[in-house]
Chain A
Amino acid sequence: MILDDFFWRAVIAGVGVAVVAGPLGCFVVWRRMSYLGDTMAHSSLLGVALGYYLEVNIMLGVFAVAFIVAILLFLFQRQKQLANDAILSTLSHASLALGVLMISLMFWVRLDLIAYLFGDILAVSLVDLYWIYGGGFLILLILFVFWRPLLAITFDHELAQAEGIHVVKVELLFMLLIAVVIALSIKIIGILLVTSLLIIPVSAARRFSKTPEQMAILAALIGMVSVGLGLSASLQIDTPSGPSIVIVAVMFFFAANILPQKK
């Protein structure tokens, strides 16, 4: 059966993640929140450690920690005392340091750090596939339902609020979705590169999109193709899966943006 082959499991998982990362990544890019994604991603190491410690699926640990970081950020931002980038950087490094400390203290666990940092094509289990497709479907459904309010607060959040959209609710929901997608993609792409799947396909799609929806679909397609080609390369030349996927996506990005603009 196809799912018995580690390569196909990785491809199916990666494609599932890319389909979700495209539309969600659009909002990350439109709202200039890529550093939020990075911060949440860096906190995943703590999530991985937590997953090992509590002996639960690491996706669950990663999701929990990423969401807590998002909530902390949200609370700090409301105080308006500190600049956004300083808060993001502090949270990012705090959770990364805590993650490394925790892993080094858990001497009974032997953990391939490189595999978690850059993704591992061998890492995807059948259970992971259920998580990815279940969680991915849920994200797409929520995105579909909240597409218009999300777009409205992206355009202008005060206007959205004045016209009856519950901005805080939508913002929190959005952070929740990012936390889920980071948790789902961590095994394939790796902690250090996980936001690339949210950002790069979207940036490659901009040139060819006239509406937000076109951009979301195109970003999903570019992500899927990047995953397919990247994982094939990873198998052929024995490279880590995350960087291979990222390099393919970046090639799309350059191809899209180097072509001369027609006026």
Chain B
Amino acid sequence: MSSNIENAEYQTQKEGHKDILLQTQDLSLVSGGRTLISNITLDVSAGEIVTVIGPNGAGKTTLLRLLLGLITPNAGIVFKKPKLRIGYLPQKIHVDPILPLSVSRIMNITGNYSSIQINNALEETGVVSLKEKPIFQLSGGEFQRVMLARALLRSPELLVLDEPVQGVDYMGESELYKLISNLRTRHGCGVLMVSHDLHVVMASTDRVMCLNQHICCEGQPQDVSRHPEYLKLFGLDSGSALAVYSHHHDHTHHISGTLLQDGP
């Protein structure tokens, strides 16, 4: 019954020109008397990168877990395109050296893929040379690339990435965001990711949502970076925000020559 309603809702959404993959309406979660997520309404379409940013404890990971159906909300609904294929990259997987798993083994851990498929996926994220390495020997950046390749194996329509650059050094961060942006273009999938830092992620995201239990502000990355709610949330006054902004602007420009607007 409920799935019929979801499909009907999805159909009406599809009337518009955007191919909406996932959508929520007034999603709320209360746990132990604390409001963790409040009235979140968002959507992600095919070919689009949506980034959720927010301070620690803002509920970013909780929101992703709600969207994936790992926990159930107290109120509100999650609509998913029927049979939506999701590639998920969870936050912080700790692999103990006691568990002897190689990269190629990880690729097959929940599915059955041929060696050719695995090679192609690893090739795409640039880590095919690590195929036989034990995973506990990988660096943070290598591990995230392997996990991205693993997510690609499912030929996902939507990639859900929880802090994809954590444990990755500063230079690696923008490289990884560039890779994610390329994957989006090549596969036409939607990307929903969580990040702690707007400025690094800015160049490769289409829309930003600033989360602190509820959505404080949302829009184009450039607009959000100057939005008073955003500045307040991250404890920046507009002056220092501009200073930070121009610093990052130099850096991002240096690497990829992207569409950032001019600073002051």
State the A residues within 8 Å of B (CB): 29-30, 32, 148, 151-152, 154-156, 158-165, 206, 209-212, 214-215
Contact = CB atoms under 8 A, between A and B. Distances in A.
B65 interface: yes
Interface residues of B, number: 22
B100 interface: yes
Contact of A158 (B70, B86, B105): B70
B90 A156 contact: yes
Contacts of A162: 68-70, 86, 88, 90
A159 B106 contact: no
B96 A32 contact: yes
17 contacts: A30-B98, A30-B99, A148-B110, A151-B109, A152-B109, A154-B99, A155-B93, A158-B70, A159-B110, A162-B69, A162-B70, A162-B88, A162-B90, A163-B111, A163-B154, A206-B100, A211-B101
A151 B86 CA distance: 21
Interface in B54-95: 65, 68-70, 86, 88, 90, 93, 95
A212 B105 CA distance: 10
Contact of B100 (A148, A156, A165, A212): A212
A153 to B, nearest CB: 10
A160 B110 contact: yes
Most interface-central of A154, A160, A163, A215 (chain B CB within 10 A): A163
Nearest to B89: A159
B90 A210 contact: no
Given A32-B96, A156-B90, A158-B70, A165 B110 contact: yes
Given A148-B109, A152-B109, A152-B110, 14 more contacts: A30-B96, A151-B109, A154-B99, A155-B93, A155-B99, A156-B93, A158-B65, A159-B110, A206-B98, A210-B102, A212-B100, A212-B105, A214-B100, A215-B100
A99 to B, nearest CB: 32
A29 B70 contact: no
Given A152-B110, A211-B105, A159 B98 contact: no
Contacts of B109: 148, 151-152, 155
Given A148-B109, A151-B109, A152-B110, A211 B86 contact: no
Contacts of B154: 163
Contacts of A164: 110
A222 to B, nearest CB: 15
Contacts of B90: 156, 158-159, 162
Contacts of A165: 110
Interface of B: 65, 68-70, 86, 88, 90, 93, 95-96, 98-102, 105-106, 109-111, 134, 154
A210 B106 CA distance: 13
B95 A161 contact: no
Contacts of A30: 96, 98-99
Most interface-central of B90, B93, B102, B110 (chain A CB within 10 A): B110
A159 B88 contact: yes
Given A148-B109, A161-B70, A163-B110, A211 B88 contact: no
Contacts of B101: 155, 211-212
A165 B65 CA distance: 15
A209 B98 CA distance: 10
B91 to A, nearest CB: 9
A210 B88 contact: no
A218 to B, nearest CB: 11
A168 B188 CA distance: 34
Contacts of A151: 109
Nearest to B68: A162
A162 B95 CA distance: 18
Most interface-central of A156, A160, A215 (chain B CB within 10 A): A156
A211 B106 CA distance: 11
Nearest to A158: B90
B31 to A, nearest CB: 9
Report the 5 A-B pairs with minimum CB-CB distance, sorted nearest first: A163-B110, A162-B88, A30-B99, A156-B93, A158-B90
A28 to B, nearest CB: 11
